[in-house]
Amino acid sequence: MLTTQQDRLMGEINNLVDVHGSERSALIPILQDIQKRYHTIGDFEMQVIADRLGIHPVEVYGVVTFYSFLNEGREGRFVIRLCRTISCDMAGKAAVAQQLRNDLGIEFGETTADGRFTLEWANCIGMCDQGPAMLVNGKVFTRVTPEMVHDILAACEKTFGPHTPQTEEEHAL
Ligand code: FES
């Protein structure tokens, strides 16, 4: 994202904080306004909102992934976000990223053709001492290894039946 875009988004989020306040209760109204305007809520916006409200980024990710009305731009039933920030990078993020690409057959920023998985990068989610860290529909996985990727994806696959509607188990995975 360009610096000018980031500046514009930060300004907009600051305005929303002025309108809605900086209490935890302002989180959903702020997210709704961002969603209304951009039809999706990206990692950068989530990080800035967490900073401005003084809450953990995982809380913001959790809310966005839990409420479908905040999540319209995400196509996959499971949204996997691998932290790409420096501590996770040094802890072996690259091998985990490659395993995810191999197993899902997609690049970061893409969704599988069957609509089951979306693969995204995340910025620091506050688990720096336990990297590589990853979120699957808002649930945190730490010290992720390439071997763990198989197990995590297999657990996701288990929730898919021939005609499974989106269920609470998918959020709770
Ligand atoms: S650097 Fe990955 S969680 Fe902080």
- pLDDT per position as a tens digit, 86-102: 999 999 999 999 999 99
Q: Tell me the per-residue pLDDT of 22-70, one tens digit each, with 9 for 90 and over.
A: 999 999 999 989 988 877 788 889 999 999 999 999 999 888 877 766 7
CA of 161 to the centre of ligand 1 (A): 34
pLDDT digits (tens, 9 = 90+) for 141-163: 999 999 999 999 999 988 765 44
Looking at residue 20, its pLDDT comes to 95
Helix axes 27-38, 3-20, angle to 10 degrees: 140
- For the CA of 88, the nearest atom of ligand 1: 2
81-98 burial, b if ≥16 CB within 10 A, otherwise e? Answer: bbbbbebbeebebeebbe
C-alpha 88 to ligand 1 mean position (Å) = 5
**Hey, is 137 helix, strand or coil?**
coil
Give the per-residue pLDDT at 42: 84
Distances in whole angstroms, Cα of residue 101 to Cα of each of 73, 95, 117, 130 = 21, 10, 11, 22
Higher pLDDT, 108 or 165: 108
Single pTM value for the model: 0.62
Identity of residue 160 = F
Reply yes or no on whether the pLDDT at 121 is more than 60: yes
Find the 164 Cα to ligand 1 centroid distance in Å: 33
What confidence tier does 110 reach under pLDDT thresholds 50, 70, 90? confident
Q: What percent of the chain has pLDDT over 90?
A: 53
What is the per-residue pLDDT across 68-83, written as a single tens digit (0 to 9) for each?
667 656 568 888 999 9
The pocket around ligand 1, CB under 6 angstroms, is made up of: 83, 85-88, 124-128, 131, 133
Of all residues in the chain, the percent with pLDDT exceeding 70 is 86
pLDDT in tens, 8-25: 889 999 999 999 999 999
**3-state DSSP assignment of residue 81:** strand
- Residue 111: pLDDT band by 50, 70, 90 thresholds? confident
